[in-house]
Structure 1
Amino acid sequence: MILFTFSLAACKDVPQNGEYDITAGVTEARGDIEFTVVSYNLHSGGATQEMIDKAREQIDASGADIAGLQEVDRDGSGRAGDKMISTLTSGAMNNYFFAPTMSYYFGEDYGIMTTTRHEMAGSFSLFLPFPYEHPTLSNALIEPRVVTRTLITIDGVQVAAYNTHLDYTGKTMPDGTLLRRAQMQFVYELMLTDPCPYQILTGDFNAGGWDDFSVFMSSDKYALSSTPENPIASFFTDGDKNKPAYIDNIIYSKDSLQLVEAFNTESDLSDHLMLTAKFKTIN
Structure 2
Amino acid sequence: MKLKKLSALLAAGLLCLTAVTGCSQTPAAPENEATPTPSSDVTTMRVATWNIDSKAHPDIKEMSNIIHERGIEIMGFQEIDILNTRNDYDMAQDFVNDNYPYVHFAKGRDFADGYFGVGTTSTLEFQEISSVPIESTGSKATKTLERVVVEKEGKQIAFYVTHTSWENNDLRRRQFTEIIERLAADPVPYKILVADFNADQSLYEYDIFKDNYNIANGKDGVWFDSFNGEDDSMKVMTVDNIITTKNINITHVETYHSDMADHDLMWADIELLDEAAPMIEHDRALGQDVTATSTAEDSHPYNMVDCDDKTVWQSGEGEQEVILTLDRPYMAKKLNIQWGEKAPEAFHVETSLNGTDYTAAADGTKETTEIALNGEVKYVKLTLAAVEGGSQIATLSLFGEWITPTADSDANLLVNGDMESEEGWTLTDATTEGNAKFALAYEEAEAGNKAAKITKTGEEAGDASIEQTIEVKSNERYQLSFMHKTDTLHSGNFCYEVNQMDAEGNTISTHLAKLTDNLNMSAEFRKFDYNFITAANAASVKVALHVVGEGEGSLWLDQVSVKEVVPTECVYVKADKTTLKVGETAALSADILPKTANDIQMNWVSLDESLASVDENGTVTAKAAGKVLVGLLSDSDLLAESYVLITIE
TM-score (norm 2): 0.35
- CA RMSD, aligned part only? 2.8
Which of 139, 142, 159 is the matching residue for 2:140? 142
Distance 1:212 1:29 in 2: 29
Distance 1:20 1:113 in 2: 28
Tell me how far 1:260 sits from its aligned partner: 1.3
Which of 120, 125, 128 is the matching residue for 2:131? 125
Which of 200, 204, 222 is the matching residue for 2:196? 204
The alignment partner of 1:251 has SS state of strand
8 Å contact from structure 1 (residues 73, 109) kept in 2 = yes
The alignment partner of 1:235 has SS state of coil
**Other-structure match for 2:120:** 114
Letter in 2 for 1:90: N
Distance 2:5 2:191 in 1: 16
Which of 225, 228, 237 is the matching residue for 1:233? 225
Where relative contact order (Cα < 8 A, 6+ residues apart) is larger, the structure is 1
Which of 28, 32, 35 is the matching residue for 2:45? 35
Structure 1's unaligned 5+ residue stretches are: 1-18, 133-140, 171-176
Residues 1:247 and 1:232: Cα distance change in structure 2 (over 3 Å): same
The alignment partner of 2:75 has SS state of strand
The alignment partner of 1:236 has SS state of coil
Tell me how far 1:70 sits from its aligned partner: 0.4
1:22-171 aligned within 5 A: 28=14, 32-48=42-58, 51-74=59-82, 76-80=83-87, 82-103=89-110, 105-106=111-112, 109-131=115-137, 142-170=140-168
Tell me how far 1:130 sits from its aligned partner: 2.6
Alignment coverage as a number of residue pairs: 241
Distance 1:116 1:279 in 2: 16
8 Å contact from structure 1 (residues 52, 81) kept in 2 = no
1:177-256 aligned within 5 A: 178-207=170-199, 208-217=201-210, 219=211, 221-227=212-218, 229-238=221-230, 245-254=237-246, 256=247
The alignment partner of 2:249 has SS state of strand
Distance 1:92 1:130 in 2: 35
Identity %: 24
Residue deviations 1:2-60, cap 9 Å, x none? xxxxxxxxxxxxxxxxx899969x88389831101010000011124xx2221111112
8 Å contact from structure 2 (residues 92, 104) kept in 1 = no
8 Å contact from structure 1 (residues 129, 183) kept in 2 = yes
Structure showing greater Rg: 2
**Other-structure match for 2:336:** none
**Other-structure match for 2:255:** 264
Tell me how far 1:196 sits from its aligned partner: 1.4
Runs of 4+ in 1 over 6 A off after TM superposition: 19-22
TM-score (norm 1): 0.77
Distance 1:81 1:264 in 2: 29
8 Å contact from structure 1 (residues 126, 147) kept in 2 = yes
Residues 1:81 and 1:238: Cα distance change in structure 2 (over 3 Å): farther
Residues 1:247 and 1:20: Cα distance change in structure 2 (over 3 Å): farther
Q: Which structure features the higher share of helix residues?
A: 1
